[in-house]
Amino acid sequence: MTDLTYCTLDDLGVLDIRGPDAKRFLQGQLSADVSALMPDQQGLAGLHTPQGRVIAVLRLQCLAEDHLLAILPAVLAESVATRLRRYVLRAKVVIDDCSAGFQVLGVWQASQRRLQVIARNTALPDGVAVGAAAWQLAEIRDGLPQVVAATSDHFVAQMLNLDLLGGISFTKGCYTGQEVIARAHYRGRVKRRVQRFVTQSEAALLPGSRWTLPDGRNIEMLIAEKAEHGGQELLAVTALTAEAAVAGDQPLLHAQPAALPYALPLD
């Protein structure tokens, strides 16, 4: 009997990044320390504009020193690949959107959770299949952000808690958006961050939609999913305190704060 549980994540795509300069190239484009990623390891990283805003959140998988995969929402895959190719110049690296040929699975085994990429003509694993909603709920409860087309280029890296999740290195040197991200880090001026909430509302909480909480804070939605016992759980970007909020005229959402597995800085 297997202890493996899995789901298919059809909304995710895959970039194949290979060549002798693959790691060095990504080191200058992404916020994480790609050079530290060892074969068979996965890591979180952000791709940013020069203004420090998150274009995409990537899950990197290191296959070898010269070969990595980047997992991201399928709707962003081709545009991200095109953007990265602009900066290749003389680097010996090839970037392909291979989403059509690969499938992404969410896998739980031995109390651990990870993404797995398989060829589309490969048999699914021998395990218990569940719906993708289970993975989405786990992502929300772990406070792991994702941006899609509706939220790309909306948030500075720290607003998505990438600094708290190992998705930013403040010691590795330059990358696109580094100056703005470092300034926000050292000056401590990030007043809005991803937070988790629960609600009994059945409203469609679409990515990028904006709402007002009962305490007057405006929120911008990232991810929402129906909970097992009714209602919804969600991740949204909002002010850290009600005192810092500026009430708006967005629809009211009755939602209560819920815990994250990491602490949010209050300054």
Provide, for the chain, the percentages of residues in helix, strand and coil under a 3-state DSSP scheme, each rounded to the nearest 5: 20, 35, 45
**What does the pLDDT average to over 47-74?**
97
- Residue entry with tokens 């110049």: 89
- Span 216-256, pLDDT tens digits: 899 999 999 999 989 999 999 999 988 666 656 789 999 99
- CA within 13 Å, CB half, 118: 15
Q: Confidence class of residue 111 from pLDDT cuts 50, 70 and 90?
A: confident
128 plus 30 within the same structural domain: yes
136 plus 238 within the same structural domain: no
Enclosing domain of residue 236: 191-258
**What does the pLDDT average to over 166-172?**
95
Which pLDDT score, from 0 to 100, does residue 189 have?
Answer: 75
75 plus 27 within the same structural domain: yes
In a domain, 172, yes or no: no
Those residues with Cβ within 8 angstroms of residue 171's Cβ, 6 or more apart along the chain or in another chain: 33
The answer to whether residues 113 and 107 touch, using CB atoms and an 8 Å cutoff, is yes
10 plus 110 within the same structural domain: yes
Q: Confidence class of residue 188 from pLDDT cuts 50, 70 and 90?
A: confident
In a domain, 174, yes or no: no
Q: Please tell me the total number of residues recorded for the chain in this structure.
A: 267
- pLDDT value at 1 more than 60: no
Those residues with Cβ within 8 angstroms of residue 189's Cβ, 6 or more apart along the chain or in another chain: none
CATH number at residue 33: 3.30.70.1400
Which pLDDT score, from 0 to 100, does residue 28 have?
Answer: 95
In a domain, 169, yes or no: no
Report field, pTM of the whole predicted structure over 0.85: yes
116 plus 242 within the same structural domain: no
Range of weakest confidence among 16-25, 46-55, 65-74, 241-250: 241-250
User: Which uninterrupted H or E stretch holds 161?
Assistant: none
> What is the rounded CA–CA span in Å between residue 54 and residue 74?
16
State how many domains the chain has.
2
84 plus 215 within the same structural domain: no
**What does the pLDDT average to over 196-217?**
96
In a domain, 254, yes or no: yes
56 plus 156 within the same structural domain: yes
Q: Give the domain-ending residue among 137, 160, 183.
A: 160
In a domain, 16, yes or no: yes
Highest mean pLDDT among 124-138, 185-199, 247-261: 124-138
**What does the pLDDT average to over 25-33?**
97
- pLDDT value at 94 more than 60: yes
Q: Kindly report the average pLDDT of the chain as a whole number.
A: 94
153 plus 219 within the same structural domain: no
108 plus 48 within the same structural domain: yes
> What is the rounded CA–CA span in Å between residue 32 and residue 182?
13
CA distances, 70 to each of 37, 53, 118, 127, 181 (Å): 13, 19, 13, 25, 22
DSSP string, 112-153: EEEEEEEETTSPPPSSEE--HHHHHHHHHHTT-----TTTTT
Which pLDDT score, from 0 to 100, does residue 267 have?
Answer: 60
131 plus 13 within the same structural domain: yes
128 plus 243 within the same structural domain: no
Decide which of 92 and 173 is more confident.
92
204 plus 134 within the same structural domain: no
